[in-house]
Amino acid sequence: MEDFETLLEGSAKAHGHLCAGQVVGVRMAMLGCDLIGLDNPSQLPQIKKLIVYVEIDRCATDAISYVTGVKLGRRSLKFVDNGIMAATFVNLESGIAYRIVSTESSRERIHEYAPEITDPRQQQVAAYKRMPDNVLFDIMPVQVDVPVHDMPGPTRFKVRCESCGIMVRDKKEVLLNGKVLCQSCAYGPYYQQLEANVQQKIA
Amino acid sequence: MCENSRNRQWNGGMNKIKVEEAIGTRLAHDITEVRPGEYKGASFRKGHKVEETDVCRLMRLGKRHLYVLDLNADQVHEDDAVVELASALAGPGVTFSGSPEEGKLQLRAAYTGLLKINVQALEDFNMIPDVMCASMHNNVPVTKGQIVAGTRAIPLVIQRSVLDQAVDLAREKAPIFSIKAYHRKKIRLIITGNEVYEGLIEDRFEAIVKEKLSAFGATLEETVILPDDVEVIADTVRRFAANDTDMIITTGGMSVDPDDVTRHGIRQAGADSLYYGAAVLPGAMFQIAYMGDLPIAGIPACGLHHKTTVFDLVLPRLLAGERLDDRDLAHFAVGGMCLECPVCRYPACSMGKAR
């Protein structure tokens, strides 16, 4: 794994800007990988050993993905929509896992770690670089039983929705009122289908 | 790598070698460590490459010999076999860990709902040698993530033909395990009884029903208190049926007194089928009726005085969309008697656990 500053520079470039979230994300990812015994997670063979659960879809998530190489499409990045600045790093081979949470108290101690900087954003970035891990993060060993339908690798399970006929993969179907249904048919879609005449206008 | 072929013993696809000669080899199975009251689990995982530093620890665990894998094409290791077994057993709403431990996998509910088991098929599955699967009871409510069954290949190495037989049976009879999500959410309640209607006594049913429904994510949309009047009850049932209702519950009026007319009102409302009497104590005077697909469940007075009654047995099944009839109510007989324990542990008891 490259050094912190190199990773931060690359992460900021990939994300689009350098921000406090990038610093937190890069540090969280480096610490997480270290705790679970991976020193080169984005390359084979370690790339197959890592799953990261992120609990927020903000800047830090991109940094974690950049540093570790985990991706949604590889099924190595899992998004748990908790709205918490936290991530859990799982070594699939050893079973060792750590959840790391960005502390709220660290936000209140920014002045302590970068008193010479007056610009609030720059002060936050600098302070987060300097804070020790135990100030910036709450770190806890955890156990994560990754279900088979969430594992990386080829599709193991697929079934056709008995209502709309679409193929549902990875056990995301629901048995509802005697029918195997996709989530949209079971509980309604997250979108509203347009009327045919409106569709034509857009086309 | 230390090898001494003279000390190796062949055993169904594995070589047995002395621990001190195993350095550099890979373990054929997880090695379990038990520290009473503290830890039980795999201290070494299958595939682990034995290091020099492991030898002492293995010997402390009481190991003097280890198995090293040497499978032929017709043999499957327990960890690989159990993934095939679990995949075939797990129907809609059932999943399992991606990492077998000690040759076992636990099937879990992927979402909250009613566990359904093809009991006969499960029994047939267990008649096949060298495989097993044990589970919770059929028709019990489960929550997301809850363990519902466990399966394993019994020997460390299983013959491919035997494994295929088990997998084929499970696929042919699929789903052996599935979870029905609850879909009846909008419930309306009719409380009958002149004594409650006239304010002589205070109703306690509404709070009880509301609490039991909320455990399954269903809500009480409307509650009415009616006199013991066939016409009034029938009119209300018809109004509820026409008013976006997934299920109607009635309380009271299920007994043998001349004023107990609730089921007559339900019949007059146009119920196309009505079953009265269940093989459950408490709950013998339970009734289930239907207007089309709309169930109308009648709770007798025991629902007020007992924590667990027939209503607790039928409610999750009705909310999961099942249509129960007199055969289902009779089927409760074995295990249908509450033991009236000093501290009720339902559902962790025999109540309602007919197969």
Q: Compute the nearest-CA separation of B87 from chain A (Å).
A: 8
Q: State the pLDDT at residue A84.
A: 97
Tokens 């903000």 correspond to what residue?
A58
**Considering the entire predicted model, what is its pTM?**
0.84
Q: How confident is the model at residue B3 (pLDDT cuts 50, 70, 90)?
A: very low
Does residue A45 sit at the B interface (CB-CB below 8 Å)? Answer: no
- pLDDT in the model for residue B256: 76
What six digits make up the tokens of B247? 């299920």
| pLDDT of the residue at B85 | 98
- Nearest CA-CA distance, residue B297 and chain A, Å: 18
Over residues B310-320, mean pLDDT:
97
Q: Which two tokens stand for residue A147?
A: 């279900």
Give the pLDDT confidence score for residue B1 in this predicted structure.
31
Q: What is the pLDDT of residue B42?
A: 75
pLDDT digit string, tens, across residues B98-140: 888 878 999 999 999 999 999 999 999 999 999 999 999 999 9
**Chosen CATH of B75-180 out of 3.90.1170.30, 3.40.190.80, 2.130.10.10, 3.30.70.1230:** 3.90.1170.30
Neighbouring-strand partners of residue B14: B69
For the segment A107-128, the average pLDDT, to the nearest whole number, is: 96
DSSP string, A131-144: S-HHHHEEEEEE--
Residue A54 pLDDT: 98
pLDDT over 80 (residue B214): yes
Q: Tell whether A135 lies on the interface with B, counting CB pairs under 8 A.
A: no
Q: What is the average per-residue pLDDT within A75-88?
A: 97
Q: Say whether residue B91 is in contact with chain A using an 8 A CB cutoff.
A: yes
Q: Is B46 on the interface with A (CB under 8 A)?
A: no
Digit-coded pLDDT (tens) for B40-91: 777 887 767 788 888 888 888 888 888 877 778 899 989 899 999 999 999 9
Given a contact cutoff of 8 angstroms between Cβ atoms, the answer to whether B133 and B85 are in contact is: yes
Position B4 confidence tier, pLDDT thresholds 50, 70, 90: very low
pLDDT mean over B193-206: 94
What percent of chain B has pLDDT above 90? 70
Distance from CA of A182 to the nearest CA of B (A): 11
Residue extents of the structural domains in chain B? 5-69, 75-180, 186-331
Does pLDDT of A166 surpass 90?
Answer: yes
Please answer yes or no on whether A149 and B110 come within 8 Å at the CB atom. Answer: yes
Q: Which residues of A touch B45 (CB under 8 A)?
A: 94-95
Domains in chain A: ranges and CATH: 4-148 (3.30.1330.130), 158-202 (no CATH)
The burial class, CB within 10 Å (0-12 / 13-18 / 19+), for B143 is exposed
A180 touching chain B per CB within 8 A: yes
Question: Distance (Å, rounded) from C-alpha B321 to C-alpha B338?
Answer: 25
How far, in Å, CA of B119 to CA of B133, rounded?
A: 11
Superfamily for the B186-331 domain: MoaB/Mog-like domain (3.40.980.10)
- According to DSSP, the residues that pair with B151 across neighbouring strands are B105, B133
> Cα separations (Å) of A5 from A8, B10, B40, B54, B303?
5, 55, 43, 38, 68
Lowest mean pLDDT among B296-300, B308-312, B346-350: B346-350
Instruction: Calculate what percentage of chain B has a pLDDT beyond 70.
Output: 95
Reply yes or no on whether the pLDDT at B7 is more than 50. no
B323 touching A (Cβ < 8 Å):
no
For residue B6, the model assigns a pLDDT of 40
Q: Which fold has domain B5-69?
A: Molybdopterin biosynthesis moea protein, domain 2 (3.90.105)
Q: How far apart are CA B268 and CA B253, in angstroms?
A: 15
| Of the partner residues A159, A171, A180, the one whose CB lies closest to the CB of residue B95 | A171
pLDDT of residue B13: 62
ipTM: 0.80
Mean pLDDT of A47-64: 96
Q: What is the pLDDT of residue B299?
A: 95
Cβ distance B178 to A186 less than 8 Å, yes or no, reads: no
CA distance B295 to chain A (A): 13
Question: For B343-349, what is the mean pLDDT?
Answer: 92
Contact A146 B92 (CB under 8 A): no
